[in-house]
Amino acid sequence: MSVRVRRIYDPPEPDDGLRVLVDRLWPRGVAKDAAHVDKWPKGLTPSTELRRWFHSDEGSYAEFRGRYEAELGAPEAAELLDGLRESVRKGPVTLLTASKKPEQSHASVLAELLEG
């Protein structure tokens, strides 16, 4: 199946499939009804501490990825990840983020885990 990452600010497309917001906070300037978000599993997002650490430019993306994958091993996150994997088996899933660099964000880590 197909998993892709897009910015929430991009308009929805017909082939998006299930649209999942993977940010802990609702993106600024985006109306909830216009975003067409189907799911918002906040438990899959990086912890506040990890986000702050990563955005402080203290560590590398590789280190962020390792720390984030460790957080995804927690019971709640693992359960949500399994549920999202089930959705991927049923059809296309688009992970939505407000990140300016989605290719170097938690959303891309999730996409790789879901496809693997």
What is the per-residue pLDDT for 1?
A: 58
| Calpha distance 78→43 (Å, rounded) | 9
Exposure on the CB side of residue 55, measured as CA atoms within 13 A:
12
- Structural domain spans, the chain: 3-115
Helix axes 61-71 and 106-115, enclosed angle (nearest 10): 60
Q: Where are the alpha helices (DSSP H) in the chain?
A: 32-35, 48-55, 61-71, 75-90, 106-115
Stretches in the chain below the pLDDT threshold 50:
none
Q: What is the pLDDT of residue 86?
A: 95
pTM of the model: 0.93
pLDDT digits (tens, 9 = 90+) for 53-71: 988 877 789 999 999 999 9
| CA distance readout (Å), 102 to 7, 27, 33, 83, 86 | 7, 14, 22, 22, 23
Note the pLDDT of residue 56: 85
